[in-house]
Chain A
Amino acid sequence: MHFQVNGEKNMVFDFTETEEQKLIVKAVKEWCERNLTALRVRQMDDKGHPYPKDIVEGLAKLGVIMGTVPQEHGGLGLDWKTQALIAETIGYYDPTIATAAGFMAVETGWGYTIDRHCSETVREKYVKPAIRGEKFIGIGATEPVGGSDVAGHKTTAKMEGNEWVLNGEKTFISGTEECKMWGGGYWVNARTGPLVPEAPHRNITAFFVPIDADGVEVIEPYKDSGRMAISTGGFVLKNVRLSDEYRLGEVGKGFYHTMEGFDNARLMIGASCAGVIRRILDDAIPYIKERKVFGMPLAKYEAIQFELAEIYMEMEALKLMTMKTAWMQDIRYAEEGLPVKVSEAKTFKPTEVAKWISMIKWKGPFLALKAAEKAMIWLGAAGYTKEYLFEAAWRGVMSYVVGAEGGQNIQKIVIGRELLGKEYVPYK
């Protein structure tokens, strides 16, 4: 199927799966059927972090972690459309979203971005081992002072001699316990130049901070309400000394690189949520077809059927939006090239891609939350029990509703900015 995207650009959007993509999805599906069974996922959620190492190693061997990283850098060089299909499948088999959170959003989304901007040293020591399932690399963006206001963060990095010295604190960071146990590190933004009030996003630089670096103190994980299998913790940076090899991307351009990282992670979230919703419906539908009340199956009652139809409609819309977003991301990256030349992305400007990314990041978690809630209501008491994964899915996707990988309202600001113009952004 082909759609005309933009009359003057004469682009066609073909989202039929290639034979290779079908085989890839099939392989992921078969692996998940054996290793991410409903029972295992329930046990993982009940037990909580750390995330089982054997599953990570299996995922790595399968090739789904950071699949988009180029083959020369240890990845598979998959395109984002394929990786989105993989994320959808992972979301389906782990609807608590713990696996997608840790290994699609964080490791694949952010890991790919780290690889684009890191030195060979960081790649050899951290990126490649993470792809092999040996270490964990993630994003440490949020600070005690706030999350959404990235430019207002307080972590600093000062050049002393030929080393950067970092001070600050990051909180609500995914995977800190896993990172501490297995080794790895985090993408950390720090202010490296004066704060310009009209342009606070300038003079921020991105760094890769190894979790075991001197001066890094990992904070005890929080007691999350959902996605229990992956930890959420934090770390304090006290005079952490890093060579310039640990800088990610250009000095002062950290904010832009970070937006790129969010783009990739949010794409993974949108895709994973589509899988979560599909799973919820697959689990709920047999029950409502079977269960009779007042002599009629639940599924025959319009109240339920209509809600099901709406959620299904929105899920299909989400899936199409996700594929289109992935397609745009692929074209954008192909044009930017390596080393990254943002100005080269002409067909789809990064800001236009960001608009679509925000659309699916907003839509996915909210729709998944609604699907989980509705499924429980349709099924009644049975849906409320832990026999089903609805309540675990609800608790898990709520983390993305409350703001993991970006506040939901921020997504609307991004969309508004693209539609109306920068001057209409309510705050900087």
Chain B
Amino acid sequence: MPRIIVCLKYAIDVSQIKVDSATRKLLTADAPRKISDFDKNALEEAIRIKEKHGGEVIALTVSSESASSALREALAMGADKAFLVQDSAVQNSDTLVVSQILAEAVKKVGSFDIIICGEASIDSYSGQVGPRLAEILGIPAVTYAHRVGLEGNAIIAERILEDCSEVVKVKMPALLTVTKEINEPRVPTLMDVLKASRKELVTWTLSDLGVSKEKVEAIAIQVLEVSAPKVERKRIKIEGENPKEIAEKLVKALIQDGVLGG
């Protein structure tokens, strides 16, 4: 009967960001937000574990905005309780600060067996919060899991790495980050949506968690600017004496563009 905390990011819906055509600045403040895609996979996995083994699923979000609609959606999908740490002060927080706030929230939520996060967020895709949170809480982490099962008081997870896939066993409490291949998040039924209105959604401020202003402002990474990449297609002609030369030129260009890597 595991108690599972799922960390959900109220992320920018990257498909809906508009660009100021004059300055090429991204108008992220106006962009709609949603539960980060991979976090939905995390939530779905937690619910499936609960359906199989019993227990409780708790959704947790830290946001500068009112993310209650996202948490209500999480409750509709099957979370039992939701906690929102909402404070405008976290608007410029980096992952160092956010993971510390999450750790305080997790401590306030209470005991847990598993924490599940998405492999990374859809907007910044840095993949740090999960491992950072595990480090702060002093628990092991298994990242990039695409299959998860429970065996007694241990988690068995399969993760895909560049050169192999590993099956790993770790005792609870532990943190998992999951890939989108792990499952397809369910669409709640309308009955689930109606029931979600009656489930518990608690909102906390940073002072409720005992997190000081200084702590929030002690960021280690500062964003200097975010701009839109150039939209026009380059229309570069790749020519050569023979196919081999053309192929080499093309591959070189693609490597430089960074589309053949990672």
Contacts and interface: CB of A to CB of B under 8 A. Distances in A.
B76 A23 contact: yes
A34 B190 contact: no
B153 interface: no
A76 B68 CA distance: 23
Interface string A22-46: 1110111011001000000000000
B194 A76 contact: yes
Nearest to A77: B194
Interface in B179-203: 187-194, 196-197
B9 interface: no
Interface residues of B, number: 15
A202 B4 CA distance: 64
- Prevailing SS type, chain B contact patch: helix
B94 interface: no
A78 interface: yes
Q: Which of B187, B190, B197 has most chain A Cβ within 10 Å?
A: B190
Contacts of A76: 190-191, 194
A62 interface: yes
Contacts of A28: 190
A20 B197 CA distance: 7
A27 B68 contact: no
Contacts of A22: 69
B125 to A, nearest CB: 22
B73 interface: yes
Nearest to B69: A19
Contacts of A78: 190
Nearest to B196: A23
Interface in B201-250: none
A64 B188 CA distance: 12
A308 B72 CA distance: 37
Contacts of B193: 20, 23-24, 27
Interface residues of A, number: 18
A168 B71 CA distance: 56
A300 interface: no
Nearest to A62: B189
B72 A62 contact: no
Interface in A282-317: none
A63 B189 CA distance: 6
A88 to B, nearest CB: 15
A24 B69 contact: no
Contacts of B190: 24, 27-28, 62-64, 67, 76, 78
A19 B76 contact: no
Nearest to B190: A63
Nearest to A30: B187
A63 B193 CA distance: 10
A76 B194 CA distance: 9
Nearest to A21: B193
A238 interface: no
- Prevailing SS type, chain A contact patch: helix
B73 A62 contact: no
A31 B187 contact: yes
B75 to A, nearest CB: 9
A61 interface: yes
A26 B73 contact: yes
A20 B194 contact: yes
Interface string A72-110: 000010100000000000000000000000000000000
Contacts of A30: 187
A67 B193 CA distance: 13
Interface string B74-89: 0010000000000000
A64 B194 CA distance: 13
Contacts of B196: 23
Contacts of A27: 76, 187-190, 192-193
A27 B186 CA distance: 10
B189 A23 contact: no
Contacts of B72: 19-20, 23
A30 B187 CA distance: 7
Nearest to A60: B189
A23 B73 contact: yes
Contacts of B192: 27
A67 B191 CA distance: 10
Contacts of B187: 27, 30-31, 34, 62
A22 B193 CA distance: 10
Nearest to B185: A30
A258 to B, nearest CB: 28
Contacts of A20: 72, 193-194, 197
Interface string A404-426: 00000000000000000000000
Given A20-B72, A27-B76, A63-B191, 17 more contacts: A19-B72, A20-B193, A23-B69, A23-B73, A23-B188, A23-B193, A27-B187, A27-B189, A27-B193, A28-B190, A30-B187, A34-B187, A62-B189, A64-B190, A67-B190, A76-B190, A78-B190
20 contacts: A19-B68, A19-B72, A20-B72, A20-B193, A20-B194, A26-B73, A27-B192, A27-B193, A31-B187, A34-B187, A61-B189, A62-B187, A62-B189, A63-B189, A63-B190, A63-B191, A67-B190, A76-B190, A76-B191, A76-B194
Lowest 5 A-B CB distances belong to which pairs? A63-B190, A30-B187, A31-B187, A23-B193, A63-B189
